[in-house]
Amino acid sequence: MAVVYEKPHALTDAVLHYCPGCTHGIIHKLVAEVIDEFECEGRTVGVAPVGCAVMAYNYFKCDMVEAPHGRAPAIATGLKRSLPNNVIFTYQGDGDLAAIGTAETVHAATRGENITIIFVNNCIYGMTGGQMAPTTLPGQVTQTTPYGRDVAAAGYPIRMSEMLATLDGTAYAERVSVDSVPNIRKAKAAIKKAFQTQIDKKGFSIVEVLSTCPTNWGLTPVEALGWLRDNMMPYYPLGVYKDKTGGDK
């Protein structure tokens, strides 16, 4: 009998700890599928963040390293320079990457470090209770902005893909989403392209994935997907922001 679908080998059998409706599980699966397709599990090292994905080391069969809050790109830099033939990726949320880890992210990109970052953007601090993040939208209600984010007081959200695309060391930057089957397929293609960019030694690659947080948004999983489409996508448009590889996905 032909196999129609099976769980990626690069994923463990551990039960995910994420909230119902959270799309981290989908993104984990896509990363694992790409590892399987490249047959690079034995030479891949992932770097887990501090945040909702802090226990990502439980879910991937490849070697994993836990990074201090925001320091995943620095850890990945050391790993890649020590193991130049290995595939090194970080898996980070917006609080980890775009707040406390902004400097590490920007400088890894501008140096052209040959690493891949999977950046999960859900516009909020998830693990710590729903505070405003650097990516929180104008007017968005969070635990620390109960009347909505006031840009006069808190500034504007950071568009990380657009910013990193301006740096010479960035080889590939794309923003995707996992809100629908077509977009999930595009997200996988982007992750695969980012890994290929690293394997080809082209430089720094990042895939930003728009994700949901039903718990802290106060929505059902279905409502959260709608909120992402109606509110996040207009502010964070999907698409390729830089591609120096010269190839197609």
What is the helix (H) or strand (E) element at residue 66, kind and residue range? strand 63-66
| 3-state DSSP helix/strand/coil % of the chain, to nearest 5 | 40, 20, 45
Please tell me the predicted confidence (pLDDT) of residue 71. Answer: 97
pLDDT of residue 248: 52
Structure tokens at 111: 């140096």
Contact indicator for 46, 28 with CB cutoff of 8 Å: no
pLDDT at position 1: 78
**189-212 in b/e burial notation, b at 16+ Cβ within 10 A?**
bbbbbbbbbbeeebbbbbbbbbbb
The pLDDT value given to residue 246: 79
The pLDDT tens digits of the residues spanning 14-56 come to 999 999 999 999 999 999 999 999 999 999 999 999 999 999 9
* Ranges of the chain with pLDDT below 50: 249
Element (H, E) at 81: helix 72-82
DSSP 161-213: HHHHHTSTTEEEEEEEE-SSHHHHHHHHHHHHHHHHHHHTT--EEEEEEE---
Determine phi and psi for 194, rounding to 5 degrees. Answer: -65, -45
Positive/negative CA dihedral, 24, 247, 35, 188 = positive
Sheet holding 204-210, edge to edge: 63-66, 44-48, 87-93, 116-121, 204-210, 170-177, 239-243
d(CA 181, CA 241): 22
pLDDT at res. 95 = 92
State the Cα–Cα distance between residues 113 and 171, nearest whole angstrom. Answer: 10
Are 29 and 8 a contacting pair, CB within 8 Å? yes
**pLDDT recorded at residue 247:** 60
